[in-house]
Structures are given as C-alpha cells and as structure tokens.
Structure 1
Amino acid sequence: MIESLINSDNAELTQSTKKGSPVVLSTRVRLARNIVGTPFPERATSAQRSDVMTRCAEQIADLTQMKHGVFYDIAELSDLEKQVLVERHLISRELCESKSGSGVFINKDQTCSVMINEEDHLRIQFLKTGFSLRSVWKQIDRFDSGLEAGLDVAFSPEYGYLTACPTNLGTAMRASVMMHLPGLVISEHMEKVIRAVNQLGITVRGLFGEGSDATGHVFQISNQQTLGESEEEIMSRLGSVFKTIIDHEINARFKYLEENRARMLDQIGRAFGVLQNAHVLNSHEAMNLLSLMRLAVDFEMLPEANRSDVDRLFIECQPGHIQYSAGEGIAPDARDLCRADILRENFARLPSLDFDKVKDLG
C-alpha cells in the first residue's frame, strides 16, 4: 500500500546539492490542533473519530501544500508498513497503536505529514534537511493558517491552543532538530550538554523520540515549554541554543582529532572496511559505523556528494526498511544478512578514504 511512497524521493533521505550540515541532519516543527465541540481522540467514540478523520482529511486535501499528497487509514496498514513510516519520521509510534478512525496525510515529497486522531485530533509536522528552523516555521505557519480557515480549532484566550496533554497548551508547538553529535559523545561531554539544556526547558531524546536510544550518535533536541511564550520567542531561544550546541560539537570533534588523531583515523578506517566487507550487521552496529562515515565526510575524507548516501542509509538500514525491501517477513538474523548486503553494495561504489585531506585540516 505504501510502495509508491517508498519509491519516491524523501526530503529527509535526499540532501540538496549544496553543502550539507556537518551537525544537523534535519529540522522539524510540529503543531497540535483540536476541533471545537469534539472530545479528544482518547475520549471520542468510534463514530466521532471517524467524523473527525473525514472532515480533517477533506480539508487537508484542499490545501496547496498537499497537492498530489496521499492519505493512509492506519487501520488498513500492516504492522510492517507502519514501522517503515515511523522509521521515516512520518508518523509516531503512538499513531500505530491508535484505535479505528486514525490516519495520516503525507505530501508528495514527504516534507509534511498530518496525523489525524493520534493524541490530538491533528498533529501537523513539517521537516527539512539541514538547519532550517525559520524556513520550516514559515511553511507550517502558512499551512496552519489555511487549515484553520476551514476548521473551527479549539483556542482559549488564556491558555492558547487546547490540547489533550496539558504540557502542549499554549502554542502547542514543538520545534526540533536531529543532530549528529559524535564529538560530544566520544569526548564524554554529552551528559553535561543534556543537563545544561534541560535547565533551559529543552529536552534531548534519541533518534525516534521519547524512550529511544541515540544510536549512531543521533539526538532529537526540542523545546519542552509551550505555554507562556510566543512562537517567535521559542524560535529565538531554540535557535540560540542549537547554534551553541553546534559550536560545541565542532570544537569537540577537532579537539579530539588533535589529541587522538591516530585513534580517530583508525576508527574511521576500520568502520569503512567493515561496511565494505561485513556479511552480518545488526542495526545498532550499522548506525554506529555510518556515524563514523558521516564524520569522514565532515573531515573531507569522503567527498561532500556522499553525505546524502550516508544519510539515506541511516534510514534504509532500519529493521522495517530492511524487512520491507526483502518482500517478506524475515527473522532478525536474516535481516542482519540483508543489511550487510545492502551496505556492501553501496560502499563498493564509494571512493577510498582520503587520509591526506585530514592532514590539511590539522
């Protein structure tokens, strides 16, 4: 059912031709919205949920940004199809477990998805590769304005947008970046960063959000506070914190390289060799090896053009994608074989590591 989506370009998997970000993989802004006079999804009857899904889907389909988009009824998707959409960050794990009357609308290039009847009636998200906080906010703000022109959205002059969870009241906005932070992890400074940003009302999670691990040194960093600040104030504060983290990460990388050059180059070289030759790789090991390959691009050991290959493989090596590409239900051991095959095939096409480039950076 999702085959056409899998075979089409995904903005998160395909970097633009300009130089990519050495730290930020993608930027996402999410809004929660609810319809006036209708119970929140958890309290709604099946009939009410179905009515919300129909009304919202019709309104979303009319918006310019959703031209040629596709709607999926979650109840009609297999567990594997839902897992693939989670791995592409197009739906949440919570939506996968929703009752009947839940769905998702995804635009053509997969930069926007709107979940219907997850925790709230609507969860709208826009995402873009690289560090593009303001750009993504402008896009989702225009989309939200168009949506609210046709739907009566629950809003309180005192509490802002009304949401199922009180922690989302106010702007009901979560802005986040997906950051690749190997320098801070390897130099053992990541815990310090997490404690510091938590005090600023900013949270740090793993690759797939709350409760997930930061495999591949990839972290989601987003605002916690939505009440008492305007969208502009949140964006300004987040932008400043994100830029500070980026600076710390870059400094940590080059400091570690300066003090542990042989060890760093050895780690990258070994990772490249494993990816070119391994016949069995689990997802955790693959992610950590690919993390070092992204670092190789940042250190100019691999051409910038190969950044998109590495970022694409971050997603395509996830268990759901491996199983989906196999065309049948396969056991974890068989997935590890398929994953290694895919990585060997991709890395056979890459140029050799250029260690001399790193000398120029020293």
Structure 2
Amino acid sequence: MKWLDCDSCDQDIVVSSRVRLARNIENVKFPQKLNYDDGFKIKEEIKKAVINNKDIGKNYKYYDMKDLNEIEGRRYVEDHLISHSLLEHDKIGGFLLSEDENSTIMINEEDHIRMQVLYPGFDLDKCFEETNKIDDIIESEIQYAFDEKIGYLTACPTNIGTGMRASVMLHLPSLVITNKINGIIQAVNQIGLTVRGVYGEGSNAMGNLFQISNQTTIGESEGDIIEKLKNIVNQLVNNERNARDAIYKNNKIRIEDKVFRSLGTLKNARILSTDEAMKLLSDVKLGIEMKIIDNIDRILINKLMIKIQPANIITSGNENLNANDRDILRSKIIRESIDKEEVE
C-alpha cells in the first residue's frame, strides 16, 4: 500500500484518484481468444517495451500470474493494484508494477494492455499525465489497434474510443446517514457516470466508500472526461461536507457517541468480520474528519481499510487460517495499529 503514503494529500473525502487506459496490439486476437504461446509472446513484447526504456524501465518489476497463488493474486486486487479480471487470465496474464506502486501495467487482462496510475487524494490531472507518459512509451514500440473514426479498439465495446476510465474513490458516510446517497447515485448515472463499490463493478460499497467513474469512452476527449468527472466530484464533496455539518449541528452528541463507540469497539474487540470492521473504521474516519478525534491519522484508517481485507489478513498470518481465525487476527491487527498510533 505504498501508493497511499502522502502526508500532503487531502484524503478526507476523496481517498484516491485513478486513470486507466485500455490498449490492444494491431492484428492480434483479444486475450479471450489467445492460446498460451501467443499470450506468452505478447507478455514478452510488452515487458521489453517497458523494461528496456531508459526513462521508466528500472522502476518496474514484472509479476506473472501463473507464478502467484490465489491468495497472492487476491491481495493485489485488494490493494487496488490489479483488477479482478486479471485473476481470470492466470495462464497468459501478468503485470508490471512500479516501485512506488502508483503505476500498474496489466498484460492480457480483458485487453492486451491495461495501464493504470493511482494516487492518493483528488489528483486526476496527475494520474492522466503519468498514464499518458506510459502510453506514449509503449506506443513508440508497439503498434496499437486504432481506427481513425472511432478510436482505440477494445475487447469490450464500452471502452472503444479513448479507452480511458477515470475514477475516484469517495468516502461519503454523511450522505449515507442522511439517506441522500441513493438519489445522488441515480442522478450521477443519468449524466453518463457510474457509481460502484470499493472494488469496482460487482462490488459493495463497504465502509461507505464509493467509486465514481465515466461510463462512456467514445465521443468525448480524454480532457472532457476528466473535467466532467472533476466537476461532479467537487459537487459530491460539497454535498458530503454540507451533510456532515448538518448532522453534527443537529445531532452533536449522537454523532460523537457513534464515533467513540466505534473507536472503543475497534480498540477492544477480539473478533471482527470484514463488514463490521469496515463500518467501524468508516465511523472513526468520519470522526477524524469532523475533528472529534485528533490523535489518529486518516492515512492509518485508509490503510487499515485495505489491510483488513481477507487476502491481506491471510498473508499476514498463514494460509491455513479459517474464517473465525481471520476475524480474530483482523481485530488484533486493528487494535495494535490504533494503540501504536495513539502512543506515538
């Protein structure tokens, strides 16, 4: 979780920003139709294009999906470094990960190349700039599948055009508490954006974390997509702040009670499921942002929301942990992390 380290980043409502580009190699079958040998050749071609580059090559390490066990692969998904779809291509898939973990280049996922740049806080422009740099480097060595009229060709029709998905992760507990979140999600969907859970399509909004991204990639420029998303995110941030102020003004004691009860549970519980821990951590994070709690860093909470996911818990202990053992270890990790933070 190196990518979350940033003391100067404002991670209160917008936890992270990401830009992802989908690209394919000209005149080559999409990954779903590749055999092992062809998949291997593509991995070698893309690895060479990146690792041999004098500007960025030394910063990347390659991981082959067939060399990772299921738990290791799931941990990279939980850390937001690769997609769940890449796990399904374990025979021909792989990825290049930058040393600081801000950049991942997935190979033979749904498309031949899916590069993403991920930063803490609200910084889509930086993500876009870095992703474009990587894209230019790869394109200087590899001929992309591209059509002058419709843009980049992708395995899924919804990615044709720019091939870009820009997204932000938002913590919106006050909008959930005030029952405004469903109406906001519907409004966002109507203007060409989509709202998903913490791990994208098909996932739940655990810990009041919501991922918002563009739905369409054709008919708009990359800059237009970025600006549209930024405008909506700014509105959501304002809505969350307003809701936060209102609930604290009208229910100060109840909100403080909710926050301190959750903190107390996290500091003393001996067994916690993922869902319960995420709810409690969300309450504590809200307390930090409301300045109800002043001796715990928000970055610790953001990291714990990843560190307590199932695969991360298993790799912290051992692969033989059953569900009950994982819940016990989860509570121990949270207790010790908070105790250490409060002492320091």
Note whether the superposition's TM-score is higher than 0.5. Answer: yes
TM-score when scaled to structure 1? 0.92
Asked if structure 2 preserves the Cα contact closer than 8 Å seen for 1:19 and 1:304, the reply is no
Q: CA deviation at 1:303?
A: 3.4
Q: Secondary structure at the match of 1:303?
A: coil
Q: CA deviation at 1:18?
A: 2.0
- Aligned counterparts of 2:319 and 2:72: Cα–Cα separation in 1: 12
Q: Does 2:257 align with 1:282? A: no
Q: What residue in structure 2 maps to residue 100 of structure 1?
A: 91
Q: Secondary structure at the match of 2:56?
A: helix
Residue 269 (structure 1) aligned to one of 260, 264, 271: 260
Q: How does 1:6-17 map to 2 (within 5 A)?
A: 10-12=2-4, 14=5, 16-17=6-7
Residue 35 (structure 2) aligned to one of 40, 45, 51: 45
Partner deviation per Cα, 1:312-349 (whole Å, 9 max, x = no partner):
11111111111101033210100000001111111223
Asked if structure 2 preserves the Cα contact closer than 8 Å seen for 1:21 and 1:131, the reply is yes
Residue 292 (structure 1) aligned to one of 283, 288, 299: 283
Q: What residue in structure 1 maps to residue 21 of structure 2?
A: 31
Q: What residue in structure 2 maps to residue 356 of structure 1?
A: none
Q: Does 2:154 align with 1:163? A: yes
- Aligned counterparts of 2:90 and 2:288: Cα–Cα separation in 1: 44
TM-score when scaled to structure 2? 0.96
- Aligned counterparts of 1:19 and 1:36: Cα–Cα separation in 2: 39
Q: 1:281 to 1:272 in 2, by over 3 A?
A: same
Residue 313 (structure 1) aligned to one of 290, 304, 311: 304
What is the identity, as a one-letter code, of the residue corresponding to 1:149?
A: S
Q: CA deviation at 1:183?
A: 0.8
Q: Secondary structure at the match of 1:335?
A: helix
- Aligned counterparts of 1:226 and 1:342: Cα–Cα separation in 2: 41
Asked if structure 2 preserves the Cα contact closer than 8 Å seen for 1:20 and 1:307, the reply is no
Q: CA deviation at 1:66?
A: 4.3
Q: How does 1:93-242 map to 2 (within 5 A)?
A: 93-242=84-233
| Residue segments in structure 1 that go unaligned for 5+ positions in a row | 1-8, 353-362
Q: Does 2:290 align with 1:303? A: no
- Aligned counterparts of 2:275 and 2:109: Cα–Cα separation in 1: 28
- Aligned counterparts of 1:278 and 1:302: Cα–Cα separation in 2: 19
Q: CA deviation at 1:69?
A: 1.9
Q: Does 2:73 align with 1:82? A: yes
Q: How does 1:236-255 map to 2 (within 5 A)?
A: 236-255=227-246
Partner deviation per Cα, 1:125-158 (whole Å, 9 max, x = no partner):
0000000011111111111111101111111001
Asked if structure 2 preserves the Cα contact closer than 8 Å seen for 1:159 and 1:170, the reply is yes
Asked if structure 1 preserves the Cα contact closer than 8 Å seen for 2:65 and 2:93, the reply is yes
Partner deviation per Cα, 1:184-225 (whole Å, 9 max, x = no partner):
111100001101010110000000111111010001100001
Q: Secondary structure at the match of 1:308?
A: helix
Q: 1:99 to 1:129 in 2, by over 3 A?
A: closer
Q: 1:226 to 1:19 in 2, by over 3 A?
A: closer
Aligned residues: 342
CA-based RMSD of the aligned residues comes to: 1.4
- Aligned counterparts of 2:82 and 2:341: Cα–Cα separation in 1: 32
Residue 325 (structure 1) aligned to one of 309, 316, 324: 316
Q: Secondary structure at the match of 1:26?
A: strand
- Aligned counterparts of 1:45 and 1:346: Cα–Cα separation in 2: 46
- Aligned counterparts of 1:99 and 1:91: Cα–Cα separation in 2: 12
Q: 1:229 to 1:304 in 2, by over 3 A?
A: farther
Q: Secondary structure at the match of 2:154?
A: coil
Asked if structure 1 preserves the Cα contact closer than 8 Å seen for 2:9 and 2:120, the reply is no
- Aligned counterparts of 2:77 and 2:13: Cα–Cα separation in 1: 22
Asked if structure 1 preserves the Cα contact closer than 8 Å seen for 2:196 and 2:210, the reply is yes
Q: Secondary structure at the match of 1:243?
A: helix
Q: What residue in structure 2 maps to residue 342 of structure 1?
A: 333
| Residue segments in structure 2 that go unaligned for 5+ positions in a row | none
Q: 1:351 to 1:200 in 2, by over 3 A?
A: same
Q: Secondary structure at the match of 1:158?
A: coil
Q: CA deviation at 1:304?
A: 7.6
